[in-house]
Amino acid sequence: MSVPTSEESAVSRPTPVPFDPEIEPALEYLVPKDAPPFTPETIPGARQAMAAMFPPASVQVGDAPVDVVERSIPGPAGAPDLEITIISPRGLTAPVPGLYNIHGGGMMVGHRNMDVGRLLALVLELGVVAVNVEYRLAPEHPDPAPVEDCYAGLVWMSEHAAELNVDPSRIVVMGGSAGGGLSAGVALLARDRGGPALAGQLLLCPMIDDTNTTVGSHQYAGIGTWTREANLAGWRSLLGDKVGTDDVSIYAAPTRAKDLANLPPAFIEVGSAEPFRDEDTQYALGIWATGGQAELHVWSGAFHGFDMYVPEWHISQAALATRTSWFRRVLGLGNA
């Protein structure tokens, strides 16, 4: 577990919302007390450790009735190609909705394979095609590299919809944590660049506020699966000396956007016991203020990434069912 810096220790931390007693014991093995902080020296090792936890998509899907394709596609102009994984229902012959997924990892770590389980479940249940993108990570590749990579992948998916058997009018961008923040940024870019059109944006505990000034941000200094200290390191990696200044782009930190009108319907989910609670709630309020569509769920006692860390928890199960309901509604899939 991260130790607060001297600067953090000098400020009295607001009393945090307690973790649900049912899942609090999980923190003991999820967050080892001797876990090193995120620094330029520790990030490579953290990446390797995370990558080792998640085998390739073909291994994870096993004998599930899906097709898995790994391929390279063009990145942004002048940038390297992007690696993507495509997961499709086996035998697909007609266009179906598409999910464009962006993995998390605080902008510093993570790999697309970490989200294969989540996507496989959706492909099997909803009959959709999932495109899972790999993007360049900070600090080696600071803003705007990550969000531009993710936008380029979305453009490719839309332009190759017929090849993928995807209905281009029913594409949802989605992701968790940093992936949720990048999904929000991609939705803003798609709006401001005139496309691709999106049917929705699924933002799971999105990382969207570089200022780290909310009560929630301060409540989880040194505790939880994603601490204030880790978040500060992530934003510093992405933005460098720009972090917290007026020079930060709305596509990097979507809470900076003063105009949230004309965005696709949003599904925003967050735990009550995590640093992103307040910024995510405020983002939904900002969308509603424009007359836009947002569905907000704040799950009581849930820590960051609860659905992946404790999937059998009854609230995790409720959250997954609620997401599926939203997908069916926004994609016009009807009831199960």
Task: Answer whether residue 84 shows pLDDT above 90.
Answer: yes
Domain annotation covers residue 146: yes
Q: Exposure pattern of 126-164 as b/e (b: 16+ CB <10 Å)?
A: bebbbbbbbbbbbbebbbbbbbbbbbbbbbbbbeebeeb
CA dist 14 and 223 (Å) reads 12
Categorize the per-residue pLDDT at 40 as very low, low, confident or very high, splitting at 50, 70 and 90: confident
Task: Answer whether residue 7 shows pLDDT above 80.
Answer: no
Question: What is the pLDDT averaged over residues 306-330?
Answer: 97
Q: How many domains does the chain have?
A: 1
pLDDT of residue 4: 41
Question: What is the pLDDT averaged over residues 295-306?
Answer: 98
Domain annotation covers residue 303: yes
Domain annotation covers residue 98: yes
pLDDT of residue 13: 87
pLDDT of residue 1: 35
pTM over 0.85: yes
Q: Which residues are CB-contacts of 85 (< 8 A; sequence separation ≥ 6)?
A: 57, 68, 69, 70, 112, 113, 116, 131, 132
Domain annotation covers residue 1: no
Task: Answer whether residue 332 shows pLDDT above 50.
Answer: yes
Q: For residue 68, what are the domain limits?
A: 6-330
pLDDT of residue 11: 55
Domain annotation covers residue 51: yes
Domain annotation covers residue 284: yes
Domain annotation covers residue 120: yes
CATH of the domain at 213: 3.40.50.1820
Task: Answer whether residue 273 shows pLDDT above 80.
Answer: yes
- The answer to whether 119 touches 130, Cβ cutoff 8 Å, is yes
